[in-house]
Structure 1
Amino acid sequence: MILTLVKLRHSVAKSCTWPYCLRRCSYCNFNKYIPREDNHRVMTECLQRETETLLRLSQVSCITSVFFGGGTPSLAPPSSIAAVLESVSRQVTLPDQAEVSLEVNPTPAGMSKLEDYCQAGVNRFSIGVQDADLEVLGRDHSSCQALQTIEEAQRLCPGRVSVDVMFGRPGQSVKSWEEELSELLKVCDDHVSLYQLTLERGTQLFKKVQRGDLTVPTEDQTAQMYQSARRFLQQRGFEQYEVSNFARNNAASLHNLSYWKGRQYIGVGPGAHGRFVPLGGGGVGREARTQTMEPDVWIREVQQRGHGTRRRMELSCVEVLEEVLVMGMRMTEGISHKHWELFSPQLSLRDVFGTSTRVRELLQNGQLILDDRGLRCSWEGLALLDRSLNIVITLVFFHLPDALEYHESLPTF
């Protein structure tokens, strides 16, 4: 690792969490809180301070993308978004072409602030939409409001609006899902994210299904929904570039691509996660960082020491390679030989995976492809990603000892 080059070239993505929601959706187990009082000012000040602290610690020179997630970040005043972006700009370079995304709850209140968010610096919106089951899911918007929000977002950021939609919901059939997707595509922009509903233990929806009050589609039915949606989107000009994400007209999310390509990123706010090399901390290895989850505790920690980092763990080379595989294999392009070499110059993709009997089986049955482009899943294999990942990760731990040195294997972009 050449630190002088790092200081000149180092750039990362940044994610910022706004942990508050007006209500908790029945299926959600994310780090969300119902605010007891209006503390926007304090939260904004702490987000700014933690941003400045972590940027100094990472010694980055450029931020390539910013993502405001939650919680419900569209509850944050546009002035808070502007303040955080100003803090970034004061510390490092935030190029005009940097992608600045914000998740929006499609309510009248969220829609009314879209223009102000754009003036604050946001240039991409991510909108969660379901045409049905809104009451069951605990959502606080109507289908009509969601469509109006999409329309207004497209007016303000044409070509840079992502529609997020969930399948595998209670009572949903393959036919009703196809009909819903067909209607949605009449109004959506150039990016669609598909998410399969996961029943998380402890949520209201999990309890209702356990009691038998609601039923959800079977695994075979949700698999049919996924494959049907992939074909449906492809026919309408969308290219699948990741397991759950589809884009046309070059509208892929640059921020998420940073995660999937193993780049470094800074997480700011309650419960945020980060992956970066803390050059000011005396170490040379990439760290996994987790910020304190509870907003009140996080605020106190930021006020006392400038950041709310609860957990720091230096990642071994093998652990970094595991993350490279887990994230990189989610993409349809997979992992190129050149990209793999950034993290593992001693052993190539073919050294690690080319001689494995188990991988050879996946190659022969068409689930995996290993060729001059690199390692990736086939169209069929992408739907069975978990099984393939278990095999390739096992091989990484078998072939690559913890003794590999960071300066020989970790990139610093």
Structure 2
Amino acid sequence: MVRGVYIHIPFCHQICNYCDFNKFFFQNQPVDEYIEALGQEMVLWADDLKNASVETIFIGGGTPTSLSVKQLERLLALIHTHIPMDSLVEFTSEANPDELTLEKMQLMRKFGVNRLSMGVQTFDQELLQVLGRTHSNDHVYKVIEYAKQTNFPSISIDLMYGLPNQTMDQWKASLKEAFRLNIPHISAYSLLVEPKTIFYNLLSKGKLTLPGEDLEAEMYSYLMDEMKRNGYAQYEISNFAYKGIESKHNLLYWDNDEYIGLGAGAHGYVNSVRYSNHGPLKKYMHTIEVDEKPIMMQKEVSQVEKMEEEMFLGLRKNEGVSLARFEQRYGQALQGVYGKEIDELLEKELVSIENNFIKLTKRGRFVGNEVFQYFLTS
């Protein structure tokens, strides 16, 4: 059963140097028309939404806060019109710190948004410029003040490490500032240089200097230690939170549960089918105009593939994969399916089995992708 809804807003006032998500420079784009198309796409999913128990909604991008107050209000009104809210427990919007005004935050609270996910990335102004970010630390401080004024229940920030020419001291300083601000949820990711990004082009020309693997591993180790020391529980490879503040929407992904993805380039997983929408705006909007779901590709997930996904998604969580839940879902004991692989990983001390869960060891978190490969057999 569908438990969540993801809504993609693909517009940005500034294209970041590392971003490979489906996005478009805001100026001269059919933003109002796109929002109406999103509403129509919700109508096309009406039967599935009617039978869903929607616990989480996540508005991502792009940059949802690139919308004007009027546009944001229209989007939120459409969500309330077409998506059942009876079971909703978490309603998140991504945000750029320099685009969040008090008025926008008041509007979000009016419509039930109870969690902000801010792309801070670093508190070092020079590194922000390297990333192509337009905000300053003062913007972050202002948003935190607005959050107090509007009684925003939860704020999360994204931080990045392994950035071009980033030093260990810079990484330590960013974490120290995040702790000082008492942010209840922090996601911290190592930089991945993806194709079709400015960083990728620079790297291919030899014009991008990245920290080596050893320094990046040192940064990750320091991250885990300092998070624990400052009262944050690590509940996933890259995510840390005060108790009870974990991202329920992201846990839905890692629990391998179903969700509807709406918007240009969005992905979804419904009735054992994984799908992705058309990315180009014209194609996305034209398909909706003729009353068709704007699905570009879809694939029914086989039983073997579901078990693989259960493993490599579930192992991202600190608690790991439940042996009981695996058997209940797939009718087979986990060790009966992956006994050889698990034995080898146990021998290498990359996983452990505790309290009927298989999970990554601390050592295993450093080589998570290597561990996940053991379960990709199809």
TM-score surpassing 0.5?
yes
Q: Determine if the alignment matches structure 1 residue 68 to structure 2 residue 59.
A: yes
Distance 2:194 2:130 in 1: 15
From the superposition, tell whether residues 109 and 160 of structure 1 become closer, same or farther in structure 2 (CA, over 3 Å).
closer
**What residue number does 1:375 align with?**
358
Return the offset for 1:372: 4.2
Return the offset for 1:81: 4.7
Distance 1:138 1:228 in 2: 26
Indicate if the aligned counterparts of 2:10 and 2:22 stay in contact, CA closer than 8 A: yes
- Give SS of 1:148's match: helix
**What residue number does 1:187 align with?**
181
From the superposition, tell whether residues 115 and 88 of structure 1 become closer, same or farther in structure 2 (CA, over 3 Å).
closer
**What residue number does 1:172 align with?**
166
Distance 1:188 1:40 in 2: 35
**What residue number does 2:224 align with?**
230
Distance 1:108 1:36 in 2: 15
Return the offset for 1:316: 1.1
Return the offset for 1:352: 2.0
From the superposition, tell whether residues 210 and 272 of structure 1 become closer, same or farther in structure 2 (CA, over 3 Å).
same
From the superposition, tell whether residues 110 and 41 of structure 1 become closer, same or farther in structure 2 (CA, over 3 Å).
same
1:254-310 CA-to-partner distances (Å, cap 9, x unmatched) read 111111101110000000000011xxxxxxxx1111111011221111111242111
Distance 2:87 2:373 in 1: 40
Q: Determine if the alignment matches structure 1 residue 161 to structure 2 residue 161.
A: no
- Give SS of 2:209's match: coil
1:312-337 CA-to-partner distances (Å, cap 9, x unmatched) read 21111112222211211100011112
**What residue number does 1:55 align with?**
46
Return the offset for 1:209: 3.3
From the superposition, tell whether residues 91 and 180 of structure 1 become closer, same or farther in structure 2 (CA, over 3 Å).
closer
Distance 2:235 2:293 in 1: 35
Return the offset for 1:80: 4.6
Return the offset for 1:217: 0.4
Q: Determine if the alignment matches structure 1 residue 322 to structure 2 residue 308.
A: yes
Return the offset for 1:228: 0.5
Query: What is the aligned counterpart of 2:267 among 265, 268, 273?
Result: 273
Return the offset for 1:111: 5.5
**What residue number does 1:280 align with?**
none
- Give the alignment of 1:58-97 within 5 angstroms: 59-91=50-82, 93-95=84-86, 97=88
Could you tell me which amino acid in structure 1 is paired with residue 240 of structure 2?
Answer: F
**What residue number does 1:148 align with?**
142
**Gap runs ≥5 in structure 1:** 1-9, 278-285, 398-413
Distance 1:332 1:115 in 2: 35
Distance 1:157 1:295 in 2: 35
Could you tell me which amino acid in structure 1 is paired with residue 211 of structure 2?
Answer: P
Q: Could you state the TM-score of these two structures normalised by the residue count of structure 1?
A: 0.85
**Gap runs ≥5 in structure 2:** none
User: 369-378 or 54-63: which moved more?
Assistant: 54-63
Return the offset for 1:181: 0.7
Distance 1:364 1:330 in 2: 20
- Give the alignment of 1:238-277 within 5 angstroms: 238-277=232-271
- Give the alignment of 1:96-111 within 5 angstroms: 97-108=88-99, 110=101
Moved >6 Å (runs of 4+): none
Q: Determine if the alignment matches structure 1 residue 363 to structure 2 residue 342.
A: no
**What residue number does 1:386 align with?**
369
RMSD (Å) for aligned C-alpha atoms? 2.1
Return the offset for 1:249: 3.1
- Give the alignment of 1:392-411 within 5 angstroms: 392-394=375-377, 397=378
From the superposition, tell whether residues 96 and 148 of structure 1 become closer, same or farther in structure 2 (CA, over 3 Å).
farther
Indicate if the aligned counterparts of 1:337 and 1:374 stay in contact, CA closer than 8 A: yes
From the superposition, tell whether residues 310 and 333 of structure 1 become closer, same or farther in structure 2 (CA, over 3 Å).
same
From the superposition, tell whether residues 312 and 202 of structure 1 become closer, same or farther in structure 2 (CA, over 3 Å).
closer
Q: Determine if the alignment matches structure 1 residue 351 to structure 2 residue 345.
A: no
Return the offset for 1:235: 0.4
Indicate if the aligned counterparts of 2:3 and 2:54 stay in contact, CA closer than 8 A: yes
Q: Could you state the TM-score of these two structures normalised by the residue count of structure 2?
A: 0.92
Distance 1:349 1:117 in 2: 43
Distance 1:387 1:128 in 2: 28
Aligned-residue sequence identity (percent) comes to 28
How many residues are aligned here? Answer: 375
